[in-house]
Structure 1
C-alpha cells in the first residue's frame, strides 16, 4: 500500500513527467523535423504549424539525397542492413563465446582466473585507435579487410567483455546448490548448464545481449577504418549527408529516426528483461 500523501504523489508525478519530457524532447523534435521540408525547418521564427510530408523518408528509401544544387545517390538502406548484420552477428558470436566463459569464471575458480577475466574486460576500456593500426595490417594480410567476418570479429572487442562480465555476475548470484542437486540426480555438467543455469540466467543474458547490441550498433571507428562503403553501417554512412552543396536537415532527421528505430524497438520489447537482469545483480563483479 502506498502511504505517501496526495501532495507527495502529485509532486512525484510532476517530477517524473518533467524528466521524461526532458529526455524525450530531442527525439520528438527530430521526428517533427523528419516530417518537414527543408524550407519549413529553416524558416524564422520556427513554428509548430506545418503540413507533414513523407518525402524525406521516400528519398532515403529510394537512395536519393536532394540538395539545392543537384541530386546524388546514397546507400543508406544498405548501410542500415549492414548495421543489422554486424550487430546481430557480433552479439550472437559474443553470446556463444561469452556465456559459457562467464559460467566457467563464476563456477570454476582457478589460479589466475581473475587476472584473465580482468584482461578480457580491459579490452573494453582500451581506446579503439590503439588497436586500429595493427588490426588494419593483420586484416590486409589475412584477407579479412572489408568483410563482414572481419568486422564481426573486431566487434568482439566491444561485445564480448560486456557480456562476459554482466553474465558472470548473474551466474554468481544463482545458488550453486540448485545445480548440485541436479547433478546428484545423475545429470552431467552440460545438461546442468543448459537446463538449470541458462534458464535462471535468462534475464541477465537478455540484458547483456541488449546492451552489447546497442554498443555494437553505435560503433563508428572500427567500420570507418576497416570497411569500405558497401560494408559500412549507418554510423559511418551518415557522413554522406554532409555535402558541399548544402545540408538537407529533413532527410538527415529521417535518417536518424530510421537508424534509432531498431534499437529503440528492441529496447522496448526487452525492457522487462533489461530491468530484471540489471536489478538482480547482473552487473556485479
Structure 2
C-alpha cells in the first residue's frame, strides 16, 4: 500500500482517531462527571447535556464535603501534597543511588554482579502483600510506622529497580571508547562519569525517573497499611469519599482529574526523553 496516497493517509488518520477516542473516552467521561452532582451522574439514561458545577472541586480545595449526613472534613489537598512530596523525594533518592549503581553494573564486571542486579530487580516481582506484614512489624520496632522516612524507604522497592535496570541498559548502549578517550587525557573515573556518561545518558535517566515517579504516585497498598491519614497519598485519600451516606461520585471524579494532572504535565514535559530513552536504552537485552 502506497503510504503517500491521500486515501491511505485519511484512513490512517481515521484509524488513529478511533483508537485515541476508544482509550481516552473513560477519561473524558470522568472529566464530565467531575462537573456534575451525584443526582446528575446517577440519572438513567445518562446524558452529556447538563448544567456544570464547580462544587466538587470546591469541596476538595476547601476540605469540606457536604453530603446527606452533614458536613464532612476531608484532607484531599493534604493527600495531594503527600503524593507530590513522597514521589518526588523517593525518585530523587533512587536516582542518587541507582544511577551510579547502573553505571557500575554496565561498565565493570565483578563477582556476582548479575546476581546482585537480578536480586534488585526481583523486588519488582514480589507482590506488595508478601512483604507488608514483616515490613509493618519491622517498622513498629524501629519507629518508622506513620513517617515520611519510612514511606520513602519503602518506595525504593518501586523506584530503585526500575531506575537501575533502565539506566543500566542505556549506559551499555553508549560506546565505552568515548570514555576511554576522555580518560587518556588524565581525567578521573568520577569526572568521566559526570562529564561524559551522565550527559549522554540523560534521555534514559529522564525516562527512568518519569516511569518511577508514575509508579510511586500510583502506589496504594504500602501507604494504606504503613501510614495514617495525615501521611497518606492521594490514592489512599480518595477512600474518604466512600461514606456511610453513599459514594460521592462527583468528588471522586474531581479527585481523579486533580490527581492525574501532576503526572500528566510531567509526562508532557518529558515525553521526548521518554520515547528516546525507552527506544535506545530500556529495550537492550
Same fold (TM over 0.5): yes
Provide the rounded CA distance (Å) in 2 between the counterparts of 1:282 and 1:177.
21
| Aligned partner of residue 203 in structure 1, secondary structure | helix
Provide the rounded CA distance (Å) in 2 between the counterparts of 1:43 and 1:145.
43
Provide the rounded CA distance (Å) in 2 between the counterparts of 1:270 and 1:252.
28
- More divergent stretch after superposition (102-111 vs 35-44): 35-44
In the alignment, what sits opposite 2:198? 198
What do residues 210-239 of structure 1 show as CA deviations (whole Å, max 9, x unaligned)?
000000000011101110110000111111
Provide the rounded CA distance (Å) in 1 between the counterparts of 2:257 and 2:127.
28
**Structure 2 counterparts to residues 86-165 of structure 1, below 5 A:** 86-165=86-165
What do residues 6-52 of structure 1 show as CA deviations (whole Å, max 9, x unaligned)?
22211111111011111111111111111112222222222211122
| Aligned partner of residue 280 in structure 1, secondary structure | helix
In the alignment, what sits opposite 1:241? 241
Structure 2 regions of 5+ residues with no counterpart? none
| Aligned partner of residue 281 in structure 2, secondary structure | coil
- More divergent stretch after superposition (12-21 vs 40-49): 40-49
User: TM (normalized to structure 2)?
Assistant: 0.97
- More divergent stretch after superposition (188-197 vs 130-139): 130-139
**Post-superposition shift, 1:140?**
1.1
Provide the rounded CA distance (Å) in 2 between the counterparts of 1:95 and 1:23.
32
**Post-superposition shift, 1:4?**
2.9
In the alignment, what sits opposite 2:274? 274
Provide the rounded CA distance (Å) in 2 between the counterparts of 1:16 and 1:279.
21
Provide the rounded CA distance (Å) in 2 between the counterparts of 1:32 and 1:218.
22
In the alignment, what sits opposite 1:52? 52
Provide the rounded CA distance (Å) in 2 between the counterparts of 1:66 and 1:274.
42
Provide the rounded CA distance (Å) in 2 between the counterparts of 1:250 and 1:67.
12
| Aligned partner of residue 156 in structure 1, secondary structure | helix
Query: Aligned residues, how many?
Result: 284
**Structure 2 counterparts to residues 194-233 of structure 1, below 5 A:** 194-233=194-233
In the alignment, what sits opposite 1:18? 18
| Aligned partner of residue 282 in structure 2, secondary structure | coil
Provide the rounded CA distance (Å) in 2 between the counterparts of 1:242 and 1:199.
47
Contact 2:171 2:281 survives alignment (8 Å): no
**Post-superposition shift, 1:3?**
4.6
| RMSD over aligned Cα atoms | 1.1
Contact 1:165 1:283 survives alignment (8 Å): no
Structure 1 regions of 5+ residues with no counterpart? none
Contact 1:67 1:247 survives alignment (8 Å): no
In the alignment, what sits opposite 2:186? 186
Provide the rounded CA distance (Å) in 1 between the counterparts of 2:87 and 2:283.
22
User: TM (normalized to structure 1)?
Assistant: 0.97
| Aligned partner of residue 247 in structure 2, secondary structure | coil
| Aligned partner of residue 230 in structure 1, secondary structure | coil
What do residues 63-113 of structure 1 show as CA deviations (whole Å, max 9, x unaligned)?
122222322111111111111111001100000000000000000011211
Provide the rounded CA distance (Å) in 2 between the counterparts of 1:135 and 1:41.
41
